[in-house]
Every structure is written in structure tokens, then in C-alpha cells.
Amino acid sequence: MTNKKMSRTDLLIYFLKGNKKYYLLSFLFAGLMALLDMVNPKVISFTVDSIIGNIDRDIPPFVESLINSFGGVEYLRAHLYLIALAVILVAIAAGTCRYLFKLFNTIGAEKLVQRMRDILYDHIIHLPFSWHNQNHTGDIIQRCTSDVDVIKNFLSEQFTNLFRVIILIIFSMYFMIGINPVLTFISAIFFPIIILYSMFFHNKIADSFEQVDSMEGKLSAIAQENLTGVRVVRAFGREKYEKQRFENTNEEYIGMWDRLMKLLSMFWASGDLISNLQIMLVVGFGAVFTVNGKMTTGDFIAFVSYNAMLTWPVRMLGRVISEMSKSGVSIDRIRYIINSEIEADKETTVTPPIDRDIKFENVSFSYGDGSPEILDNVSFEIKAGTTVGILGGTGSGKSTLMYLLDRLYNIAPQNGRITIGNVDIADMPISYIRSNIGMVLQEPFLFSRSLAENIAITRDKTDINEIREASRIAMLDETINKFSKGYDTYVGERGVTLSGGQKQRAAIAQMLINKPKVMVFDDSLSAVDAETDSKIRHALNDKTSDSTVILIAHRITTLMNADKIIVMDKGKVIEEGTHEQLLSENGMYAKIYKLQSPDEVIS
């Protein structure tokens, strides 16, 4: 976790940290493997020419002494199986290197993916609320899965393959030139053609793959939406329409695969054609050179072997280059996450007691540049230990006030401040504020865990008595006891579906378990009936009388007993006072009160 801005290379190096040894080992074995691959054609060519045939060849001294230690050319000629044995041994050694190369490469790749995911997850959960608002969950998940895979392939597959192929080409070309430069030229002239051709095709294919991918995404989105919203589909009798929509998309998807497969078949067929043409020319010219005495038979065999060894790697090179050139997009998509600034405290922070007066001082706020001003010079005070109600229409900025108090968003220094005990909350550690101010957010969210785990979500250790106590105040205990599994009842897709009011009460219990000094209820009683609302407020009053309570509500009865009521309209505080004071002022509050009061409805 860091707020350092990283370039593409920085990022790759950062990800590779800690598993470099696997990459070095895989490079080492890739090199050894290429080297060993060079040996057998040489052995065979020597055998054909000097052992079976009678040609005297220039051979390096160390090979000569090796042959002599086996008993010389004569002895080998009589015991050809020794050479076969040598060929097998070399092949086994090369195979072992190939195995070790793959092994270390795979371990390195898996460690790399693990590290990338851990780093990303750690970073993402520390990114500010505003970042999460701006970025779609689906997109973030896509970056953490597909883009991570692209980077893994780039570093562990393409990069190592590039290295391996280049080494192989250098070695083979060295030996091929040693055998016959003209034939080497004939062979090599095809390489740029094959590489460019395969690059061209892979670019085309990659575009097709992308289209197929996005169509697949569309298809699963339709399926997922319909499965999640199955009740709505049934209720409105939209099965036929939705089925048709799915079938159309499915057909389009299959059509795309069809085109992609045709493209692929064409590429493989024409690629084979070019490669075979190259092999044919090499064999043809090689045969002519051999017949004309410009090459020995052994050299001819060796040359053809080296050439064949290069066919696949060269064809792959085009693909590797084309894929690598596309990885930049994925690296940038990951870089966007890693380079987004995480929430950070000031360098020096203070942790004063939180059970003090809370003051909003001339707070103005807007979500991001160019967005409308949501709060306009808001000032009010909440005395420690009192209950303050906030009333106002939807969109008047009530929730925003609480987000600012919880530092989910920060106030720019010139746009006022919020203080607790006269200390600016901007000078406190974010975690300190959040753990001391209990928030029941307007839209409660429960995890797919048991009810007990959900209520004790902020606790590392759970004590069922505390969970019960909090649930009792939130008027949830009785409801939970009616479930056959009680507090172990599972919430979410595979468990019970809670009603809006039950969810709100679970969220209240979740907050109460921490017994915070400051408690915020953001429209948290809107979905419970008036009677339960009143019961919860009374229980709260009894149990937590010394806490500061901020009660945001639509229903006047919820907050009319508050020590002070603040009325918000379009980002401004328009009225402030006790229930009686506000009624006598005969303003907005009095108007809403009359609208909501049953007598008015009757009369």
C-alpha cells in the first residue's frame, strides 16, 4: 500500500518483487534447454559423415578428446548404439531442463498473480469512498481478474517465451551459418515474413476476441439480471420478452464465435502453407548443395533439423509480440487503481475525546469538480450528550452532512470545517473518528454471513451476550428468536431475505454493539412501523442516555422529542430549535408537522 505514482516499469518491478528467483531460474533453464537442443543435430551430422561415412571433419578439441575417451572413431563405428545412447541422454537432459523451466515459470507466475491480487485488494479497500462512487464494481472486478491475467501472461509467458525464442534463434543461426551461409539466408528470409504475418493476424484475432468477450459479458449480464430479478420478471409476466432478448444476444454471440473460428482456421492454414514452403525450399536447396558437394550429408541433416526447430518458435514470435504490445492497456488499467490515492491521515494527528460538542462551521460541499453545490454554508452545533434531529426533504443534503462527519469525504480547507471539542476532525486519524462515531447508514448492507456475525461485524471476537443486548435495544432480538436457527440464521442469497425494517434494525444493532459516544441514525427508522420506532427510541434513551445522538428522519414523531431539531432545505439550514419553538415559528417544520399529523387528515 503506497501513494507513490508508478510508471509501467515501476509497477511490473513492484509486482515481481519477491519472486524474482523463480524467473531467474526459469531463464537459466530456458537457456540451457536451447543449448542442449543444439547438440543432437551436431552428433547426428558427425555420425553420418565421419563414423558411418569417411569424411574427416574439423571438430573442436574437446569433442575429439571425448571421442577418444570412448575408444576413438573406429570403436564407435563398431558400437553405434553408444551414439544412440548419447543422443538419448542429451534428449533427457534437454527434457529435464524443459520441465524445470516450466516448473519455475509456473510457480513464478502463480506467486505473481497472488501478489498482484493481494496488492490490488489491499489498495482498493483503502481507496476513498468517493473513488468507489466513481468506479463501477464490475469494472474494478474485471481489472482484478482479466487484466491481472494479462499481466501474468505478459511477465511469465510472453516475456520468458520471447527470451527463449530469441536465444534459440541466435544459437540455431550460429550453427546454421557455420554449416552454410547461403542456405541460412534462404531459411532466414522467411522469418520476417512469418513474424509480420502472424503479428498482423493476431492483431485481427485479438480484436475479434475482444468483441466476443464483451458479448459474453452482455450475455451473462442479461442472465444474471434476470436470475436476480426473477420476481419482477414473473410479476410482470415478462418471461417471453426476456427469453427473446437472451436468445437474440446468444445468437449474436455464436455468430461472433463463428467468424472468429473462420479467421483462426484461415490463419492456421495459411501459416502452415508459408512454413511448409520455407521447409520445402530449405530441403530442396540443401539437397542440391549436398549433391553438388557444397555440403556433407551429415550437415544437410543437421541443417534441416535446426531449421525445423525454428519453425514453431518463429511462428509464435509474431503472436507473442502482438500480445505483448497489447498488454500496455491492461498495465495501465491496473496502474489506474494503484496510482489512485488511498485515504491518508495528516502527518501529525490528534486524538481528543469524542464526547464533546460537535460543530459544523460554515461548511460548503460539492461532490467533485463541476458538480452542483450540495451544502451551502451550513453551521450548527450539537451539544455533547444531547439528541439532535435533522429534518428535510430528500436531496436536501442530510446524508452528505453525516458523510462529512465520518470523513467519508473531506472538506476542502476553504470550505469550512467540522470540529469536535473545538478540534478540526481533519486533524484526527480517520480510523479514530470512524471507530468512535457510530453510523447507521441510510442503505444498510448485510454480508452473506450469519446474523450474529453481521451484528458483530466490527468485532474480532464475538460475545453472544453483547450481540443479544444490542439486538434487544434495536428491537430485533424477538424477530431473530422466531427464526429456527436464531442468531445463526444465514443472511443473503443462500439464507433468509430480511425485510427493509429488519435490515435497518440489524444495522442499528451492528452500531450499538460498539457503544459509541456519538451515534448517527441516517433515516434508520424509516422502514420500521411507528410503534417499533417509538420502542427503539425509548430503549435507546434508557441504555445510552449519555451518548450524543443525531437522528435523521422523515417522520416528525421520530425526532420531535429531540433536544434540538435542525430543518434542512436545498443544502441550507432553514430552521433550528425545539419542537415547540419550531411550531410557534410557523415555518416549514410547522407545515410538515400539520401534514403528518392525523388530526389534520381527519379534519
Binding site for ligand ADP (CB under 6 A): 133, 367, 371, 374, 392, 394-400
Cβ at position 213, least distance to ligand ADP in Å? 30
Q: Which residues pair with 195 in a beta bridge?
A: none
Q: Pick the closest to residue 568 from 543, 548, 587 (CA basis).
A: 587
In this structure, what are the phi and psi dihedrals at residue 346, rounded to the nearest 5 degrees? -65, 165
Cβ at position 507, least distance to Mg ion in Å? 14
371 binds, among ligand ADP, Mg ion, none (CB under 5 to 8 A by kind): ligand ADP
Residues with Cβ within 8 Å of residue 297, at least 6 apart in sequence? 48, 49, 53, 290
- On the CB side of 122, how many CA atoms lie within 13 Å of its CA? 9
582 binds, among ligand ADP, Mg ion, none (CB under 5 to 8 A by kind): none
Distance separating alpha carbons of residues 227 and 229, to the nearest angstrom: 5
Of the pair 307, 399, the CB lying nearest ligand ADP is at 399
433 binds, among ligand ADP, Mg ion, none (CB under 5 to 8 A by kind): none
Of the pair 383, 554, the CB lying nearest ligand ADP is at 554
Distance separating alpha carbons of residues 216 and 221, to the nearest angstrom: 8
Distance separating alpha carbons of residues 165 and 373, to the nearest angstrom: 59
Distance separating alpha carbons of residues 271 and 205, to the nearest angstrom: 14
Inter-residue contact 264 to 243 (CB < 8 Å): no
Of the pair 156, 558, the CB lying nearest ligand ADP is at 558
Of the pair 194, 401, the CB lying nearest ligand ADP is at 401
Of the pair 398, 407, the CB lying nearest Mg ion is at 398
Cβ at position 232, least distance to ligand ADP in Å? 24
Cβ at position 374, least distance to ligand ADP in Å? 4
Cβ at position 442, least distance to Mg ion in Å? 5
278 binds, among ligand ADP, Mg ion, none (CB under 5 to 8 A by kind): none
The Cα angle at residue 89 between residues 83 and 92, in degrees rounded to 5: 145
128 binds, among ligand ADP, Mg ion, none (CB under 5 to 8 A by kind): none
Of the pair 61, 370, the CB lying nearest ligand ADP is at 370
* DSSP letters for 55-100: ------HHHHHHHHHTTHHHHHHHTTHHHHHHHHHHHHHHHHHHHH
414 binds, among ligand ADP, Mg ion, none (CB under 5 to 8 A by kind): none
Residues with Cβ within 8 Å of residue 185, at least 6 apart in sequence? none
Amino acid at 140: I
246 binds, among Mg ion, ligand ADP, none (CB under 5 to 8 A by kind): none
Cβ at position 400, least distance to Mg ion in Å? 8
Of the pair 396, 479, the CB lying nearest ligand ADP is at 396
Cβ at position 11, least distance to ligand ADP in Å? 29
Of the pair 285, 367, the CB lying nearest ligand ADP is at 367
400 binds, among Mg ion, ligand ADP, none (CB under 5 to 8 A by kind): ligand ADP
* Residue with the shortest CB distance to Mg ion: 399
Distance separating alpha carbons of residues 602 and 590, to the nearest angstrom: 18
Of the pair 156, 400, the CB lying nearest ligand ADP is at 400
Of the pair 168, 567, the CB lying nearest ligand ADP is at 567
Of the pair 376, 381, the CB lying nearest ligand ADP is at 376
Cβ at position 588, least distance to ligand ADP in Å? 14
C-alpha cell at 196: 509480420
Cβ at position 374, least distance to Mg ion in Å? 11
Cβ at position 550, least distance to ligand ADP in Å? 12
C-alpha cell at 257: 464465435
**How does DSSP classify residue 496?**
B
Of the pair 255, 395, the CB lying nearest ligand ADP is at 395
**How does DSSP classify residue 409?**
S
Distance of CA 569 to the CA centre of its chain: 40
71 binds, among Mg ion, ligand ADP, none (CB under 5 to 8 A by kind): none
The site for Mg ion (CB under 5 A) is made up of: 398-399, 442
Distance separating alpha carbons of residues 293 and 287, to the nearest angstrom: 10
Quickly tell me which residue has 450540495 as its cell: 374
Helix 39-46 vs helix 81-125: crossing angle, to nearest 10: 170
Cβ at position 205, least distance to ligand ADP in Å? 41
C-alpha cell at 333: 488499467
Residues with Cβ within 8 Å of residue 235, at least 6 apart in sequence? none
Distance separating alpha carbons of residues 585 and 576, to the nearest angstrom: 10
C-alpha cell at 255: 455468430
C-alpha cell at 93: 537432459
133 binds, among ligand ADP, Mg ion, none (CB under 5 to 8 A by kind): ligand ADP
Inter-residue contact 391 to 373 (CB < 8 Å): no
490 binds, among Mg ion, ligand ADP, none (CB under 5 to 8 A by kind): none
Cβ at position 523, least distance to Mg ion in Å? 6
Inter-residue contact 290 to 179 (CB < 8 Å): no
392 binds, among ligand ADP, Mg ion, none (CB under 5 to 8 A by kind): ligand ADP
Cβ at position 133, least distance to ligand ADP in Å? 4
Cβ at position 552, least distance to Mg ion in Å? 7
Of the pair 377, 514, the CB lying nearest ligand ADP is at 377
Distance separating alpha carbons of residues 158 and 327, to the nearest angstrom: 10
374 binds, among Mg ion, ligand ADP, none (CB under 5 to 8 A by kind): ligand ADP
Residues with Cβ within 8 Å of residue 566, at least 6 apart in sequence? 380, 388, 389, 390, 391, 573, 575, 576
Distance of CA 193 to the CA centre of its chain: 38
285 binds, among ligand ADP, Mg ion, none (CB under 5 to 8 A by kind): none
Of the pair 391, 455, the CB lying nearest ligand ADP is at 391
